[in-house]
């Protein structure tokens, strides 16, 4: 079994003061009604991305190069004429600022250290959700590679994981399989499904609670997939009894 990575990326803890419950405390922009992000606010940036109540000051060209969808949004955005932000385009998005920080850490990594994305499912999920929405193909492929290591296709890779059969996993970790099934459907990755459904079956009745993303949104299995999961639970119970 391979050693766990020394470094693991974490977004900063957030207060519950904003409309989405996750805006960083920091210098307010007063009458504008949003807060500057403490990490991704570059004084020379030419784009102010307002994600709910959190503002990131970034470089428009960097994001435009990654996404034609964002590029079109930027081209139609108004230009600020207000003091220190004069000349910067302002774009408002309804996404989670929590997930945008994950994305920005991928697009603008800091320091020389590397992080093992395989050890951070919330980041994988954030990258897949945003990259699908904004058509960031490179980011999508990067996250899919990591997702496949968490839900392996081969039996040996499955056994090599820290929790073996999966039955010893905390429910909070097992529930991530709900999101994995969604991603398998969304990106046409059927190899994820056996492992993901097995983990869902290990949840028992808790499967109906779905998976709660860090931003508070809850994802549930479709009716058909929930039926498959329940059938799988019955099969596992019968197999265990026979054994």
The dihedral built from the CA positions of residue 103, 104, 109 and 115, taken in this order, carries a sign that is negative
Q: Hey, where are the domains in the chain?
A: 151-243
> Could you report the per-residue pLDDT of 159-209, keeping only the tens digit for each?
666 555 555 677 888 899 999 999 999 999 999 999 999 889 888 889 999
Confidence at 240, pLDDT banded by 50, 70, 90: low
Q: Parallel, antiparallel, or unpaired for β 89-93 and 54-58?
A: unpaired
34 close to 83: Cβ distance less than 8 angstroms:
no
241 Cβ partners below 8 Å, 6+ apart?
none
Buried-exposed string 27-61: b where 16+ CB fall within 10 A, e elsewhere: eebeeeebbbbebbbeeebbbbbbbbbbbbbbebe
Question: What are the backbone dihedrals phi and psi of residue 237, each rounded to the nearest 5 degrees, phi first?
Answer: -65, -45
Is the model's pLDDT at 86 over the cut of 80?
no
Is the model's pLDDT at 225 over the cut of 50?
yes
Query: Could you give the CA distance from residue 199 to residue 193 in angstroms, rounded to a whole number?
Result: 10
Is the overall model pTM greater than 0.85, yes or no?
no
Average confidence (pLDDT) over 130-135: 98
- Provide the 10 A C-beta neighbour count for residue 18: 17
Is the model's pLDDT at 115 over the cut of 50?
yes
Per-chain mean pLDDT for the chain: 81
Q: What was the pLDDT predicted at 93? A: 96
């Amino acid at each position: 079994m391979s050693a766990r990575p020394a470094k693991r990326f974490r977004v900063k803890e957030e207060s519950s003061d904003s409309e989405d419950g996750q805006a960083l405390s920091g210098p307010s922009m007063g009458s504008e009604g949003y807060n500057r992000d403490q990490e991704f606010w570059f004084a020379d940036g030419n784009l102010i991305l307002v994600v709910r109540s959190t503002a990131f000051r970034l470089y428009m060209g960097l994001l435009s190069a990654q996404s034609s969808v964002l590029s079109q949004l930027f081209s139609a955005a108004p230009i600020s004429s207000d003091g220190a932000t004069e000349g910067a385009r302002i774009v408002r998005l309804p996404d989670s600022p929590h997930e945008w920080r994950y994305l920005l850490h991928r697009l603008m990594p800091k320091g020389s250290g590397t992080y093992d994305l395989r050890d951070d499912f919330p980041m994988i999920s954030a990258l897949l959700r945003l990259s699908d929405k904004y058509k960031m193909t490179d980011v999508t492929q990067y996250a899919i590679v990591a997702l496949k290591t968490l839900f392996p296709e081969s039996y040996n890779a499955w056994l090599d994981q820290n929790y073996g059969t999966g039955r010893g996993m905390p429910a909070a970790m097992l529930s991530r399989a709900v999101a994995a099934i969604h991603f398998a459907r969304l990106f046409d990755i059927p190899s994820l499904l056996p492992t993901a459904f097995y983990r869902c079956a290990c949840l028992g009745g808790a499967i109906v609670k779905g998976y709660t993303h860090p931003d508070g949104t809850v994802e549930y299995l479709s009716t058909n997939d929930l039926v498959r999961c329940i059938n799988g639970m019955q099969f596992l119970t019968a197999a265990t009894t026979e054994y």
